[in-house]
């Protein structure tokens, strides 16, 4: 079963090269190098669309180069491949279309490497965190190029400090969100940026958000996304070595999970269902932008790439659609329209709250999306456009408020913090046997007529349910505390979660 990871490295290299070739094909090759120069010399504050400032060619080449750098760092550090590797590739490729480039990510990675050395631990443990921490890459560019105190050494030093701080901070913030916000690093970076910006202001600096937004590329990028998503779906069905019926059955089981972090779908269901999920979710993201009369450009394409990446780790059609609907409804409620640039991104990146829809049900997913549409427009101010994962910052605040509130008031249960290790997301790679896990409501047929079956799937996050003393014991395992259970969005009869 370990061969499910064998194609990640060559597949990522191939995808990176394809992106760069597309960049050369879709633009005048003479524009590539000048475009890359424009990219690496921008301050990169949100929202800086590289397609707008440098053209399609240079933007796709930058994305391909950053993807190659990212997968090589994971490979050479010894960090094992798993579903989260696909998340990282989606994030790095997507945000390299608006904010990350081949230069501003290195100081942060250096800082994380120094942190590993300081802790006397292998860099493999922190390599993934270092890649995620490049959410604050715009701060590196700003301190090197845009600040009134700007200098190259200052930019490098800023990145090193960021990379050194975020491993410990993100490990802590992961726990307090209870797996309800998939962009944990966005929340951690938002907190750090919210402290840095006032300090900069006190020293006379005034970083602020910008808006560079490309239009007129819907046809080009629609064709590219249609082909890409079709390749994912067909590849999942016919190119993974498993029977089509088995792959489809795995995808159906995947759709019944909540997506609560950590939900490594590649370890749980294998490559086939995950590839189908990536293709379907990518199409949903593109369809959302087109339905709201939005623009397919660097930032929105980055949002779709992020959704595709997280399709291996928590997102599926049933838990992202309610959030998207909530964001669209919220836009009209605020007298905006969903095609407002920041709200286009909120509709895509707001799916960080997909676990709320998966865990509590679609009405609460719509509620989370509705709140997010308003909050995300305000969270960008305190961080002055320096945090690329601004939707993760907003999502973290919403998750911290909604999870205990809904659990206690609506479900009449006692909220609990999950004692999960953040670094398990990156270090665990053994396949998970889900053959005995109960993920469908049909598995909840009650043996006792007086106690009807729970219509909702029995997920591990339901383990904070208070025991009901008058119910005759079931033939299923009792709900146990989070720390004694599997943590992949579905409940297992095999409590020790032994791999295949």
Between residues 137 and 3, which one has the greater pLDDT? Answer: 137
Backbone angles phi, psi at 48, to 5 degrees: -110, 100
Q: What is the mean pLDDT of residues 338-357?
A: 96
Least confident of 338-342, 362-366, 438-442: 438-442
Q: What pLDDT score was predicted for residue 436?
A: 64
Q: What is the mean pLDDT of residues 209-229?
A: 96
pLDDT tens-place string over residues 424-462 = 778 888 888 776 665 544 444 443 444 444 444 444 444
Between residues 493 and 344, which one has the greater pLDDT? Answer: 344
User: Taking 60 as the threshold, does the pLDDT of residue 484 lie above it?
Assistant: no
Q: What pLDDT score was predicted for residue 164?
A: 98
Q: What pLDDT score was predicted for residue 472?
A: 36
pLDDT tens-place string over residues 237-253 = 999 989 999 999 999 99
User: Taking 90 as the threshold, does the pLDDT of residue 335 lie above it?
Assistant: no
User: Taking 50 as the threshold, does the pLDDT of residue 29 lie above it?
Assistant: yes
Q: What is the mean pLDDT of residues 167-190?
A: 95
User: Taking 50 as the threshold, does the pLDDT of residue 236 lie above it?
Assistant: yes
User: Taking 90 as the threshold, does the pLDDT of residue 148 lie above it?
Assistant: yes
Q: What is the mean pLDDT of residues 136-156?
A: 96
Contact 269, 253 (CB under 8 A): yes
Q: What is the mean pLDDT of residues 330-345?
A: 88
Q: What pLDDT score was predicted for residue 424?
A: 78
pLDDT tens-place string over residues 128-143 = 999 999 999 999 999 9
User: Taking 70 as the threshold, does the pLDDT of residue 476 lie above it?
Assistant: no
**pLDDT class of 486 with cuts at 50, 70, 90:** very low
Backbone angles phi, psi at 54, to 5 degrees: -130, -10
Q: What is the mean pLDDT of residues 63-70?
A: 98
Q: How many CA atoms lie within 13 A of 127 on its CB side?
A: 23
Q: What pLDDT score was predicted for residue 447?
A: 39
**pLDDT class of 470 with cuts at 50, 70, 90:** very low
Q: What pLDDT score was predicted for residue 437?
A: 63
**The model's pTM:** 0.88
**Please, what is the average pLDDT of the chain?**
88
Least confident of 144-153, 197-206, 378-387, 421-430: 421-430
């Amino acid at each position: 079963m370990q061969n499910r990871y064998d194609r990640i490295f060559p597949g990522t290299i191939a995808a990176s090269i394809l992106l760069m070739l597309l960049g050369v094909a879709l633009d005048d090759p003479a524009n590539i190098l000048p475009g890359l120069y424009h990219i690496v010399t921008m301050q990169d504050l949100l929202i800086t669309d590289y397609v707008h400032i440098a053209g399609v060619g240079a933007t796709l080449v930058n994305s391909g180069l950053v993807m190659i750098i990212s997968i090589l760092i994971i490979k050479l550090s010894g960090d094992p491949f798993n579903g989260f590797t696909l998340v990282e590739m989606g994030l790095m490729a997507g945000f390299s279309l608006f904010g990350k480039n081949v230069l501003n990510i290195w100081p942060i990675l250096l800082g994380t490497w120094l942190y590993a050395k300081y802790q006397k631990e292998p860099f493999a443990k922190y390599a993934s965190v270092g890649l995620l921490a490049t959410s604050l890459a715009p701060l590196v560019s700003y301190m090197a190029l845009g600040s009134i105190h700007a200098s190259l050494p200052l930019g490098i030093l800023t990145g090193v400090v960021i990379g050194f701080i975020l491993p410990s901070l993100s490990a802590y913030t992961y726990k307090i969100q209870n797996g309800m916000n998939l962009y944990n690093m966005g929340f951690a970076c938002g907190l750090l940026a919210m402290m840095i910006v006032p300090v900069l202001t006190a020293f006379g600096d005034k970083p602020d958000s910008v808006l560079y937004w490309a239009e007129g590329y819907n046809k080009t990028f629609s064709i590219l996304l249609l082909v890409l998503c079709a390749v994912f779906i067909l590849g999942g069905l016919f190119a993974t070595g498993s029977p089509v019926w088995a792959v489809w059955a795995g995808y159906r089981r995947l759709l019944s999970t909540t997506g609560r972090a950590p939900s490594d779908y590649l370890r749980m269901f294998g490559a086939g269902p995950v590839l189908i999920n990536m293709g379907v979710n990518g199409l949903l993201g593109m369809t959302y932008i087109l339905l709201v009369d939005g623009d397919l450009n660097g930032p929105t394409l980055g949002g779709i790439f992020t959704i595709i990446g997280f399709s291996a780790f928590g997102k599926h059609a049933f838990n992202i659609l309610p959030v998207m609907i909530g964001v669209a409804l919220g836009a009209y409620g605020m007298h905006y329209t969903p095609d407002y640039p920041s709200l286009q991104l909120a509709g895509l990146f707001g799916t960080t709250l997909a676990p709320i829809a998966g865990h509590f049900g679609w009405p609460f997913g719509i509620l989370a999306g509705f709140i997010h549409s308003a909050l995300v427009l305000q969270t960008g101010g305190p961080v002055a456009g320096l945090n690329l994962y601004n939707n993760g910052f907003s999502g973290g605040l919403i998750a911290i408020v909604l999870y205990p509130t809904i659990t206690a008031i609506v479900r009449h249960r006692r909220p609990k913090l999950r004692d999960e290790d953040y670094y398990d997301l990156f270090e665990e790679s053994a396949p998970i046997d889900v053959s005995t896990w109960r993920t469908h409501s049909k598995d909840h047929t009650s043996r006792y007529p007086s106690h009807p079956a729970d219509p909702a799937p029995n997920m591990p996050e339901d383990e904070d349910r208070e025991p009901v003393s008058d119910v005759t014991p079931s033939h299923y395992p009792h709900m146990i505390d989070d720390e004694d259970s599997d943590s992949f969005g579905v409940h297992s009869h095999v409590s020790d979660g032994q791999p295949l």
